Amino acid sequence: MRHAVVTGGAGFLGSHLVDDLLEDDYRVTVLDNYGSGRPENLAHLQTADIAIENHDVREPFPAFDDVDIVYHLASRASPEDFGTHAVEIALTNSEGTKNALECAREYGARSIIASTSEVYGNPEEHPQTETYHGNVNIRGPRAPYDESKRFSEALAVAYERKYGMDIRTVRIFNTYGPRMRPNDGRVIPNFLSQALSGDDLTVYGDGSQTRSFCYVSDLIDGIRAFADAPGGMAAGNVVNLGNTNEITIRELAEIVLEVVDTASEITYRELPEDDPEVRRPDISRAQAMLDWEPTVSLQTGLERTVPYFENQLNPQLASDSSSK
């Protein structure tokens, strides 16, 4: 069986990727220190084809018998963590990326490095293409995440050039779905948690800032398509993966109020420092290279996500509702 190592495999995106790999007959080793990942995200997997190791990627990886591909997804990605876990985040995306690349180099494995749309900062180019170099405040509150992700890409390119490795980088735009933590701090978990609890939805600024939201299954399909693409096409390349349906945060709040049966309303607070004004990917490269684009609408994706948040916030209420 092909062997995939997935760092951050107990996290939101990582656990969905693990599901997909197992369905495709991979043997999977998960490395996660449960900083933001959770054991329950993998608890449904009853198979001998998965090994789960409590491991911090800032430390050298354990030995394996063989490795075919390394997916490096480990990193806290919530704005709530940028201040409290700044050093951990910066080192996970620098030392952790180095260790992931060293593992791939030792076994002659392909590498998939999870980068982020945050490498574009508060962009002056819109939509953002892979050739845009970004506008990041390297001393701002988001810098430990944004800038360390930029460094992880630079390190990946350096390894690829020096060692001739097959390293591919995905820049992930705003993604949502089941297994996000209700207290994650990103806007969709915030809105769903508030709406389901009957609290008013908190919009920062006047809500005119824009985002493009991709449902998790679409994102995982894109990652897998890029990982499996022929080497001559994809090796050493970088692609944006995300949805191009751009909406304002105020519009998102209104959609959530439609999807969730709630008496909640919308309130406004001061905009945080360095919050990007716009965010929308140009996915032309992924379309041409991978024949990939998202298919799940925001309305449908939110409807699929709500039951998970209901269960997380009030398990008994969710159980009563599902039995009716």
Angle (nearest 5°) at CA 87 between 29 and 151: 70
147 — phi, psi (to 5°)?
Answer: -75, -30
CB atoms within 10 A of CB 40: 11
Strand locations in the chain, DSSP E?
A: 2-7, 26-32, 50-54, 69-72, 110-116, 167-172, 175-176, 201-204, 210-212, 214-215, 238-241, 246-248, 266-269
Residue 176 annotated among the catalytic residues of the structure: no
Are 74 and 32 a contacting pair, CB within 8 Å? Answer: yes
CA-wise closest residue to 117 among 219, 230, 232: 219
Catalytic residue among 145, 159, 176, 215: 145
Look up residue 222 and give its amino acid.
Answer: G
Q: State the burial class of residue 115 (Cβ atoms within 10 Å of its Cβ: 0-12, 13-18, 19+).
A: buried
Cα separation, 92 vs 153, in Å, equals 13
Pull the structure tokens for residue 227: 């990982």
> Are 56 and 76 a contacting pair, CB within 8 Å?
no
List the catalytic residues. 145
